[in-house]
C-alpha cells in the first residue's frame, strides 16, 4: 500500500476548501420561548408549571381576551423552548428547521401546534419567527397495569418551521483581508496552503497574497480587482497535501 501511494502523485492531495473554513463564515444559534397548543390532555399541569398559564394569559390578552389569574385549567398546552441554526448569508423570506423541547411537565407534544414564536440570537435581536405543527418521533402509551414509552415524545421538529425576518448585514465581498482556519491545525500544512495560494496568485494577480499567521490560520489579502466570493471560489479548488 505504501508503494502504491508513492507511485500515484497527488493521491493524498486535498482541496483547500475541504480542509479549511473561512473565518467569520459560520452558523449562528437562535433560541425562543413559546407555547404548543392543541395537545390531547398531554400538556403541562398548570399547578406545576405556572409559567405556562402566565404565557397563555399574556397571549390571550394581546388578542383582546381578558383572562383572570387561575381561570385556565386545560392540559392541552405546553411551554417549550425553540432552537434553530441560522446559516450564513441566508436571506429574508427563507425558511429553516426548528427543534421544539418541552420546558414543563408535559408528557407528549404529539399533535400539538407551535404558536408564533420569535427566535433571537446572542445579540438579543429577533432574526426569525417559528410556527407550525410539531412532528414528534416518540410516543407514550399508558394503561391500567403498564405504560410504554418509545423515543422522546417531549421533543420534536418543525421542518421549514421558521421564517427568516432579518439578515446579518455583513458584506462578504467588501472584506479586504480573509482568514482561513485550518480544521486540523499544523504548521507545515499552513505553509503548504500559503505557498499553493501564492503560486496561483502570482500567475493570476501578479503577486503573493497569502501568509501563514500560525499553525491554525492563513491570512489572504484580497486583490482590489476581484471580489471575495470569486477569490475564494478559485482558491478553494487548489490542492495541497496536508502533513
Q: What is the pLDDT of residues 11-42, one digit of tens each?
A: 579 999 999 999 877 888 999 999 999 999 89
Contacts of 145 (CB under 8 A, 6+ apart): none
CA distance 156 to 38: 15
Q: DSSP class of residue 134?
A: P
Predicted TM-score of the model (pTM): 0.74
C-alpha cell read off for 206: 501578479
Q: Of 97, 236, 89, whose CA–CA distance to 169 is shortest?
A: 89
Confidence of residue 196 (pLDDT cuts 50, 70, 90): very high
Q: Which cell numbers hold the place of 89?
A: 448569508
Report the Cα–Cα distance between both ends of the chain, in Å, rounded: 18
Mean pLDDT, the chain, rounded, equals: 87
156-189 pLDDT per residue, tens: 999 999 999 987 766 788 788 999 999 999 999 9
**Max CA separation in the chain (angstroms):** 81
What are φ and ψ of residue 179, in 5° steps? -125, 125
Residue 2 pLDDT greater than 60, yes or no: no
Query: Burial code of 202-214, b = ≥16 C-beta within 10 A, e = fewer?
Result: eeebeeebbebee
Q: What is the mean pLDDT of residues 211-239?
A: 93
| pLDDT attached to residue 7 | 42
User: Regarding predicted confidence, which is higher, 88 or 194?
Assistant: 194
Residue 3: the pLDDT is: 45
pLDDT digits (tens, 9 = 90+) for 133-148: 999 986 666 666 666 6
Taking only the tens place, the pLDDT of each residue in 64-121 is 888 777 777 788 999 999 999 999 888 899 999 999 999 989 989 999 999 999 999 9
Specify the pLDDT at position 169.
Answer: 63
SS (H, E, C) 155-202: EEEEEEEEEECCCCCCCHHHCCEEEEEECCCCHHHHHHHHHHHHHHHH
Angle 228-235/187-204 helices, nearest 10 degrees?
Answer: 120
Amino acid at each position: 500500500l505504501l508503494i502504491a501511494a508513492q507511485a500515484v502523485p497527488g493521491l493524498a492531495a486535498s482541496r483547500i476548501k475541504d480542509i479549511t473554513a473561512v473565518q467569520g463564515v459560520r452558523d449562528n444559534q437562535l433560541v425562543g420561548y413559546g407555547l404548543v397548543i392543541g395537545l390531547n390532555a398531554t400538556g403541562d399541569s398548570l399547578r406545576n408549571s405556572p409559567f405556562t398559564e402566565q404565557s397563555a394569559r399574556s397571549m390571550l390578552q394581546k388578542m383582546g381576551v381578558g383572562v383572570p389569574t387561575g381561570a385556565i385549567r386545560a392540559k392541552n398546552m405546553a411551554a417549550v423552548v425553540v432552537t434553530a441554526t441560522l446559516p450564513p448569508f441566508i436571506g429574508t423570506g427563507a425558511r429553516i428547521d426548528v427543534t421544539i423541547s418541552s420546558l414543563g411537565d408535559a408528557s407528549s407534544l404529539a399533535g400539538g401546534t407551535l404558536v408564533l414564536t420569535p427566535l433571537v440570537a446572542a445579540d438579543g435581536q429577533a432574526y426569525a419567527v417559528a410556527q407550525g405543527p410539531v412532528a414528534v418521533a416518540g410516543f407514550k402509551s399508558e394503561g391500567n397495569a403498564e405504560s410504554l414509552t418509545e423515543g422522546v415524545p417531549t421533543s420534536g421538529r418543525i421542518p421549514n418551521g421558521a421564517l427568516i425576518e432579518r439578515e446579518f448585514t455583513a458584506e462578504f465581498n467588501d472584506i479586504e483581508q480573509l482568514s482561513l482556519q485550518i480544521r486540523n491545525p499544523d504548521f507545515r500544512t499552513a505553509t503548504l496552503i500559503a505557498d499553493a495560494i501564492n503560486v496561483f496568485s502570482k500567475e493570476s494577480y501578479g503577486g503573493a497574497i497569502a501568509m501563514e499567521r500560525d499553525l491554525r490560520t492563513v491570512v489572504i489579502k484580497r486583490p482590489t480587482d476581484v471580489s471575495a466570493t470569486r477569490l475564494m471560489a478559485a482558491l478553494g479548488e487548489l490542492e495541497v497535501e496536508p502533513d
